[in-house]
Amino acid sequence: MATPAVVLVLPCAPLAKPYSYTWPFARPAIAGQYVQIPLGNRIVLGVVWDTVGAPPAKGALKDVLRVFDELPPLPATLRTFLTWMADYTISPLGAVLKLSLSVPTAFDDPPKRGKTLSFPWPEGRSSPTTLSPTQQDAATVLTSSLGQFSPLVLDGVTGAGKTEVYSEAIAACLAQGQQAVVLLPEIALSAGMLERFRQRFGEGVTLWHSGLTPATRRETWKAIARGDVPLVIGARSALFLPYQSLGLVVVDEEHDSSYKQEDGVHYHARDMAVVRAREADCPVILVSATPALETITNIKHGRYTAVHLPDRHGSAVLPAVTLVDMRREVLPSGEWLSPTARQAITATLARDQQVLLFLNRRGYAPLTLCRSCGHRFECPNCSAWLVQHKQKKRLQCHHCGYHAPPPAQCPACKGEDTLTPCGPGVERIAEEAALAFPSAQLAVLSSDTMESPQDAAQLIEQVQQKQLSILVGTQVMAKGHHFPALTLVVVLDADVGLSGGDIRAAERTWQLLHQVAGRSGRGEWKGQVLLQTYIPDHPVMQTLAHHDRNGFLKTQLAERQATGFPPFGRLAALIIAAPDARRAEQTTQALARAMPLAKGLEVLGPAPAPLAYLKGQHRWRFLLKARKDFPIQRAIRDWLGAIKPESGVKIQVDIDPYSFL
Ligand SMILES: [Zn+2]
Ligand SMILES: [Zn+2]
């Protein structure tokens, strides 16, 4: 009897590499096949990584238990992408594979019966809107790039019709029988977007996010793996789905920081999308009104091709931005709407138009304080204050989810009625607005009131039907909705986000404010934006007031270049965390002693993390700052290999970090 073949199988588990197994079946193994294997004392899912494995030095190998033949193999282009990504992010290859095999129940036996989903391929639907000549030109550039790797940046102001333009490329991709994926940053708010895509592409348009029912998730995953789903609209996790014939990747709102995954495998979905497209040999379209500085630099260096959409589509014009100098406004304490803003709101409501009051802070008040003894309410698991939520009647930690009912008395001095909220959240602004404008219909739009896609869709519907006249919203409001009657946006605290040691603070504020401003006046009326600021002379405020994007980019790029920060240099972070403070510190000290010394690399730290205690873990940080051409992954791998962490201590690597907490 011939010796059975040996294959390499990558288990769907956080392990660094594939392992050899014997192949007991008569038919030969195919790379990418989904299989079941024994691993330790468990039985797990895996993927045949190579059909030629190494025979064992001693002892016997275990058999592959089962092959799942009903699905085509995991495509080779996806396997090379996952391998690249594991290497880049310094993550176990098996942990990265798990991002693709995110629905293990797809292999359950016997297959569970649920409703049958169908994903009809659209048939020659043409654009429902007529494109302007500039839009048509842009669409032609995108469409003619199909069939090969090509990183494109669709750059146009809010309302320029970017979605309609890239939809042309999707239509062309689907017409060639290939699958397309569109990534969106805020999927809970995407019901409207999905509707637009459905109108254009029919029922084959499929939503992919964590809120799907298990049955829908399972059937959808299988259909994508079979190549049956034409168009997937999804959160960043949709990038890893096993598309059988990927022909186009779109990253909408590419500058959005929620594309950065900061849990488990740390990655930036925009950057990974570019590599995914490169491996699949298809175009990737990055879409934004305010492209990230990284993206702008890639265009400058000729790595990405910019496609501009200069005109605001239709009759709408850019809103007028006015800086409200808060040093000159007179406000009673406990109020945040300036007299200037109140006047503008009154005038807008009188015209039967809508107002958005924007504050990027959930809840009622960011801090609760005892007036008598000064006690502040902190999270027991994190070094962070508890945020007061009035609607949910609780104090809540926004980092770990801890919450408690608001106490009747101060736990420190036992004083009654001494607790007082400090600072505003959206709920508090809503309270102030309701008092000032008692006849206005008002609603808070935040992730607390829009938890499910249904809640979100309902609120958005109410806005569109003009059942609401004042909206008080956080950044969830800034996303791409079209509210034609919304003509006034008041940004309560435009300065928030400019403080703190984050290198992208100014950029993020610019993007956010620009996006909020874009909510205003998208219909036939000109919009107006009021930015309440204590620093009206700050370059961010000045360039916003003058719609001066080039001026803003110029100052920011000069600053980053002078400091050697991305995109002119590279950053990586090491976060050391453990429930035991002493062990976390010991491991940190061991790392400090083994710190890499190299030309072109600077290691900052160790320092206690700004959130030194988070979710019950004591945390330390190193920040690595390197020249653009420095092999930072290799340096980190060698560094980690040189020490042994204390038991219970986790070292998380974050390449290209966006959060410094
Ligand atoms: Zn007290
Ligand atoms: Zn907490």
pLDDT in tens, 137-183: 999 999 999 999 999 999 988 778 899 999 999 999 999 999 999 99
**Which long-range contacts does 291-295 make (Cβ < 8 Å, 24+ apart)?**
291/153, 291/155, 291/254, 291/255, 292/254, 292/255, 292/507, 293/507, 293/553, 293/556, 293/557, 293/560, 293/566, 293/567, 294/566, 294/567, 295/153, 295/254, 295/255, 295/270
Q: How far is the CA of 317 from the centre of ligand 2 (A)?
A: 44
pLDDT higher than threshold 90 for residue 117: no
Identify which ligand lies nearest to the alpha carbon of 614.
Answer: 2
Tens of pLDDT along 78-116?
A: 999 999 999 999 999 999 999 999 998 888 876 556 667
Buried b / exposed e along 115-134 (16+ C-beta atoms within 10 A):
eebebeebeeeeeeeebbeb
Between CA 160 and CA 156 the distance in angstroms is: 6
Q: Could you read off the pLDDT of 419-454 as tens digits, one per residue?
A: 999 999 999 999 999 999 999 999 998 888 887 777
The single-letter code of the amino acid at 263 is: D
Residues constituting the chain: 661
Token pair recorded at residue 343: 């006047």
Is residue 313 pLDDT above 70, yes or no? no
Per-residue pLDDT, 599: 93
Say which ligand is closest to the CA of 386.
2
CA 494 to chain centre: 22
Nearest ligand to the C-alpha atom of residue 377: 1
Residue bearing the bigger pLDDT, 565 or 318 = 565
Is the pLDDT at 2 greater than 70, yes or no? no
DSSP state of 479: S
Report in angstroms the alpha-carbon separations of 603 from 78, 97, 191, 324, 586. Answer: 34, 31, 45, 42, 18
Mean pLDDT, the chain, whole residue set = 90
Query: What are the φ and ψ backbone dihedral angles of 442, each rounded to 5 degrees?
Result: -135, 145
Residues within 5 A (CB) of ion ligand 1: 370, 372-373, 375, 410, 412-413, 415
Ligand 2 center to 186 CA (angstroms): 23
| Cα 417 to middle of ligand 1, angstroms | 10
Distance 130 CA to ligand 2 centre (A): 51
**Ligand sitting nearest the alpha carbon of 368:** 1
Stretch 7-13: mean pLDDT, rounded?
Answer: 96
Cα of 395 vs centre of ligand 1, distance in Å, is: 16
403 CA → ligand 1 middle, Å: 20
CA–CA dist 513, 496 (Å, integer): 11
Tens of pLDDT, residue by residue over 120-137, are: 888 765 667 788 899 999
Long-range contact set of residues 629-637: C-beta below 8 Å, sequence gap at least 24: 629/600, 630/570, 630/598, 630/600, 630/601, 632/570, 632/572, 632/601, 633/87, 633/88, 633/90, 635/596, 635/598, 635/601, 636/90, 636/572, 636/574, 636/596, 637/90
| Helix or strand holding residue 618 (H, E) | strand 617-627
Integer Cα distance of 10 and 47 in angstroms: 5
* pLDDT tens-digit series, residues 501-533: 678 888 888 887 777 777 666 666 778 899 999
**pTM of structure:** 0.90
pLDDT at 479: 65
The ligand placed nearest to the CA atom of residue 396 is: 2
Is residue 247 a contact partner of residue 146, using CB atoms and an 8 Å limit? yes
Q: What gap in Å lies between CA 651 and CA 640, rounded to an integer?
A: 9
Q: How far is the CA of 617 from the centre of ligand 2 (A)?
A: 10
Distance from Cα 427 to the centre of ligand 2, integer Å: 21
Residue 100's alpha-carbon distances to 60, 211, 380, 652, in angstroms, are 30, 17, 36, 21
425 Cα to the center of ligand 1, angstroms: 23
Residues β-bridged to residue 307: 154
pLDDT 10s digits, 215-263: 999 999 999 999 999 999 999 999 999 999 999 999 999 999 889 999 8
pLDDT at 209 over 90: no
Least distant ligand from the CA of 611: 2
Lowest mean pLDDT among 301-315, 318-332, 339-353: 301-315
Report whether pLDDT(636) > 50: yes
Report in angstroms the alpha-carbon separations of 552 from 321, 475, 538: 15, 21, 11
N-term to C-term CA, the chain: 61
**How many angstroms does the Cα of residue 416 sit away from the middle of ligand 1?**
8
Express as a percent the part of the chain with pLDDT over 70.
94
Task: Check residue 315 and give its pLDDT.
Answer: 45
Question: What average pLDDT does this structure show over 49-66?
Answer: 85
* Nearest ligand for residue 373 CA: 1
State the distance from the centre of ligand 1 to the C-alpha of 408, rounded, in angstroms.
Answer: 11
Contact call for residues 408 and 373 (beta carbons, < 8 A): no
Strands (E), 412-513: 419-422, 442-445, 470-473, 486-491
Q: What is the DSSP string of 83-145?
A: HHHHHHHT--HHHHHHHHS--GGGG-SSPPP-PPP--PPP-SPPPSSPPPHHHHHHHHHHHTT
